[in-house]
Amino acid sequence: MKMTPNLSFDDVLIVPQYSDIQSRSEIDISNDLGKLNLSLPVLSAPMDSVTESVMATAMAKNGGLGIIHRYNTIQKQVKLAKKSRTPSVAAAVGVTGDYLDRAVALYNAGVKIICVDVAHGHHVLMRHALEVLRNTLGTQVTIIAGNVATLQAFNDLSDWGADAVRVGIGGGSICSTRIQTGHGVPTLQSVLDCAASDRPAKLIADGGIKNSGDIVKAYAAGADFVMLGSMLAGTTETPGDIRYKQFPGQCNPSKIKVYRGMASEDAQKDWRGKSSSVEGVATTIPYKGHVKNVLRSIERGVKSGFSYSGARSFAEFQAKAQLIRQTASSQVESSTHIERVN
């Protein structure tokens, strides 16, 4: 079997180019998702430790989009959508069980963006669900679907009715799919491959994104949007209470919040009473404060990234951006590496 090298975010850099941009205020990073224009092309992941009504509201206020998770009853999810106090809220459904009743209830409650959310989206159940949802809800709803890892899968989901496709399998910080199953493709490589599609669906890079530099690389590779979990987790707006934990050597306890994959044992037991195929973990992470500060930092990083390529718009950036591969020693050089003196 012939194997070809595949690239992850840390394997590449973007070549700086001539720029006459004098201020980040000159740069427009907005992008359209269906009828919605996002001034910050960032989506929050439909996870029960990331997005409920408070996060969805905050995402909308800051130019992004929040997708309310599906790990609850239809009635509770509809209530969360209504509490979001924004017309640009999205919500997730699955591909089996009550997915159609859930989608119809959400649509009737004012949700016009439905995310069909499964781990392996290139599947006969996804095809059936997309066809049923599109026939039932028509073209007034924007449908996001995923996740996938290949160009063929991206094309198929677009052909089956998806307006946007989540690209990335197994790259999330609390996902263990690649460890448990041996399957996956580095997210950046999947984005590069799927960006070659001639289908109309928008591309959402999802998984393995650690910082604003990775977001800029995803856009350079062809993504229209990014979906974030770990970068937004631990903020005030995520579900769950702030906890306190005393770490060795600390005088005062640190603030933490729970962050967990929806295929983790804890999450599965909570939402369906038992665990089966465990492909994620649950953990705690440091409390980060309000999500608006995280989003503003992302926005500044992305706009600075565009300026290094001399681009004032999304389309101009993708036309100009040039990715190069970096060596292991270059990766060390790319990170902060000053020797500290204590």
List the catalytic residues: 175, 177
Q: Considering Cα of 75, then 77, then 78, then 84, what sign does the dihedral take?
A: positive
**List of residues 6+ apart from 332 with CB closer than 8 A:** none
The label of the residue with tokens 């037991």 reads: 269
Q: How far apart are CA 262 and CA 252, in angstroms?
A: 31
Q: Where are the alpha helices (DSSP H) in the chain?
A: 53-61, 74-83, 99-108, 124-137, 151-160, 177-181, 187-194, 212-221, 265-272, 291-308, 314-320, 328-334
Please classify residue 180 by burial: count the beta carbons closer than 10 Å to its beta carbon, then call 0-12 exposed, 13-18 middle and 19+ buried.
middle
CA distances from 263 to 97, 154, 183, 274, 279 (A): 18, 23, 15, 11, 5
Ramachandran sector of residue 264 (left: φ over 0; alpha: ψ -120 to 50; beta: rest): beta
The label of the residue with tokens 């996002």 reads: 38
> Do 291 and 237 meet the contact criterion of CB atoms below 8 Å apart?
yes
CA distances from 223 to 95, 191, 229, 238, 317 (A): 25, 6, 17, 25, 11
